[in-house]
Structure 1
Amino acid sequence: MASPAVAAAAVRFCRGSGRALPLLSSRHKRFMSPLQRRAYVVTTTRNDAKFKLDEKTAHSSLDLFKRDTGVIYRVLGLDPSQVQNNPERFRDWAVVFGDEKIRSGRHYWEVTVKKSHEFRIGVAEALMSRDECVGTNSSSWVYGYAQRKWFAMLNNKTVPVTLVGKPDRVGVLLDYEGGVLALVDVEKGSIIHSIRAKFQGDICPAFGLWDGEIVTHSGLEEPAGLK
């Protein structure tokens, strides 16, 4: 396991550039998670997925609160050697997954972001490598906020998202069969930006955090204006 100093440096590197460390491609380092075989991780085929954040996946710099619906970033975090070692945990990146795997349907949730100035929110394949950061590969689709700007991110490429200011809370719409992940204006009940994708297998809500805290609100009904 990497030393605390190395782990902290890796987190800062991801925070500053959004780039993954030089690694073998996911084709050669395919992550096979025990989550697939564990009954207490729910796989949903219905709409309005309800989830909590999965502590087993959380990087050592992240603390969960509000009954595992919120996450806060700690600059120093825990010594990685003091965190339970398991293959589901992100080791180098300040990332955490939701505890529900989705394989069909339309789902909507919201995220309170007013206390963070650097984060990523979206979805990722449940089997995504824990050696990579959300947004830096073809297994994750996210919206990010950094340096007072919004962007969409996939495969380490960013696309600016026009959004005036920074709302306290934003929505996320996932249409699995339709191949859409959208960022939603909660107050207007309208889509700000959408990412087209081809989802395959189980995917999970995914979050990266490098400042402050965010809180998730799941199991919500999709706003009428989005249907």
Structure 2
Amino acid sequence: MKFICFTLLFVSGITDSISERYEVVGSADPVFAVAGEDVILPCSVKPSISVVDMRVEWFRSDQKDSQVHLYEDHEDKNTDQIQSYRGRTKLNHPELQRGDASLKLSSVRVSDEGLYKCFIQSKSWYDDTTVDVRVEAVGRPPVITVDGFDHSGGLHLQCESEGWYPEPDLEWLDSKGVSLSSETTETHRNTDRFSVKHTITVHHSDKIHCRVRLRHHMIEALIISSSNMFSSWRTSVIMISIAVVLSVIVGILTAVFARKNRDYDRLQNEKRTLQNEKRTLQNEKRRLQHESDQHLQLLKTIIPKVNVILDADTAHPRLIVSDDGKQVRDGKRQTERLDGDKDRFNNYLGVLGKDGFSSGCFYFEVQVNGQTEWDLGVTRESVNRKGSIILSPEDGYWIVGQYEGGYWAYESSYVSFSRSMNPQRIGVFVNYEKGLISFCDVESMSLIYSYTNQSFNKKLFPFVSLGYTSNVNPIPLIICDDY
């Protein structure tokens, strides 16, 4: 029988003096960069005070484990920097004295496009701003080729170009600058660049322009369709057409019977292959459903109740743990805590439960309703709690989480779930001896994810988190006892 967890939101924090507050500003408009060139990502504080003694962190807000550049304790510390940014980022240290923390990004790549967060933190205040970086890559000049005539004598022209990003616009223009409609258009993407190909038919002599352009760049090619070109192409097309027709007739008569037999055999083989694949998929579906039903039945019938109390001594300094240890929320400001600092998370908004478990089964529930970024599950007591953390079983974390509207888990790689999910309360079930950790949506009692065949030799502690320090959401995560 399910009950509803009631929460009490309370407000607490440290009142900062007005002189210590500042605003981090960037660019209201997107910053456009050209692939291969350098770009400056603007970021500064208002009023213009020195940020030399502050923490300045640039990271990708559209990615996990996304550190682009870190300045702290008067020096750059880029050991956890994304590999693709190594040697390409730079802060102008003299400008930090004037409150300018703009980042220079060298040799821009198409993969650099996205949302960047500039986060500046003093001892008693912090703020951030988002910079939207758009990348343009200029491709090769367009090439116009003559591709023959149609039945009415019109001249087929083809224009193509490659190496562009984002997808460019291609248009045909006559000598007066009037746009001509393309008859066929093709666009292909190779890795991170686009190639385009358009065709057109002209019926009179003229200067024809093919123009390829992006928002800030444009290249065009010119061809003059003269009357001599029309007459020479007509003669060539007639001679070629006669030869092609004769060759086609002979080829058709020779190949038609052999092709008929080959096509029949091929279709029969494809039919048998599809039938086998269908049976395999049906068997796998039944196996997974059976496994899911077993896990859910286990959760419904064997749920030892454990009293989870969060350990405030392990919580990140920004987190506020309620007196009864049942709720944790982001207080936004980092508080000074001298006791137990060696046990605290310092970059990840995490907190452990006070009691660990080293045998049998245990189960607890966490209400996540209203919170947009969270991770929860179990972890070993000895896990690393400093700096950037990979929430994987290899590093002692067995969790599921929500980030930017999606749901995920991590084993050998990230596993994402349907965005249509919207769990309000997550149940966490652990069978220590069987190496099983399962997560379910409590309301629907549907299985979300299971870690199976795990091996434990130390105590496992409940773990909840509000993500990285970029997440500012006052709604608490709540340990629920009413199940």
| Count of residues paired in the alignment | 191
Q: Taking CA–CA contacts closer than 8 Å with sequence separation of 6 or more, which of the two structures ends up with the larger relative contact order?
A: 1
TM normalised by structure 1 equals 0.71
Decide which of 390, 393, 402 is 1:145's aligned counterpart. 402
How far the C-alpha of 1:168 sits from its partner, in A, is 1.6
1:159 aligns with 2:415: yes
- In the aligned structure 1, how far is the partner of 2:411 from the partner of 2:425? 22
The match for 1:201 is 458
- In the aligned structure 2, how far is the partner of 1:89 from the partner of 1:5? 21
> Which amino acid in structure 1 is aligned with residue 312 of structure 2?
E
1:126 aligns with 2:381: yes
Contact 1:138 1:154 in 2 (8 A): no
TM normalised by structure 2 equals 0.36
- In the aligned structure 2, how far is the partner of 1:13 from the partner of 1:5? 20
Q: 1:134 to 1:59 in 2, by over 3 A?
A: farther
Is 85-94 or 55-64 further displaced after alignment? 85-94
1:215 aligns with 2:478: yes
Decide which of 92, 108, 114 is 2:363's aligned counterpart. 108
Residue pairs, 1:36-75, within 5 angstroms = 47-65=304-322, 67-75=324-332
SS of structure 1 residue aligned to 2:356: strand
Contact 1:114 1:169 in 2 (8 A): yes
Decide which of 176, 184, 188 is 2:432's aligned counterpart. 176
> Which amino acid in structure 2 is aligned with residue 181 of structure 1?
I
Residue deviations 1:83-126 (CA, integer Å, cap 9, x gap): 43432211222110011111011111111101210010011101
How far the C-alpha of 1:217 sits from its partner, in A, is 2.0
Residue deviations 1:59-89 (CA, integer Å, cap 9, x gap): 001111261111001333324xx44343221
SS of structure 2 residue aligned to 1:182: strand
How far the C-alpha of 1:218 sits from its partner, in A, is 5.0
The answer for unaligned runs of 5 or more in structure 2 is: 1-51, 68-77, 81-302
1:190 aligns with 2:237: no
Identity of matched residues, % = 21
SS of structure 2 residue aligned to 1:123: strand
Residue deviations 1:118-143 (CA, integer Å, cap 9, x gap): 01001110111222536155211110
Residue deviations 1:5-64 (CA, integer Å, cap 9, x gap): 53x849x789952469847xxxxxxxxxxxxxxxxxxxxxx9433220000100001111
Q: 1:16 to 1:98 in 2, by over 3 A?
A: farther
Decide which of 354, 360, 378 is 1:99's aligned counterpart. 354
Decide which of 89, 95, 98 is 2:344's aligned counterpart. 89
> Which amino acid in structure 1 is aligned with residue 477 of structure 2?
I
- In the aligned structure 1, how far is the partner of 2:481 from the partner of 2:315? 18
Residue deviations 1:166-197 (CA, integer Å, cap 9, x gap): 12212111111111111112123232211122
- In the aligned structure 2, how far is the partner of 1:64 from the partner of 1:4? 29
Q: 1:153 to 1:185 in 2, by over 3 A?
A: same
Contact 2:363 2:430 in 1 (8 A): yes
- In the aligned structure 2, how far is the partner of 1:126 from the partner of 1:48? 21
The answer for unaligned runs of 5 or more in structure 1 is: 24-45, 221-227
- In the aligned structure 2, how far is the partner of 1:202 from the partner of 1:180? 14
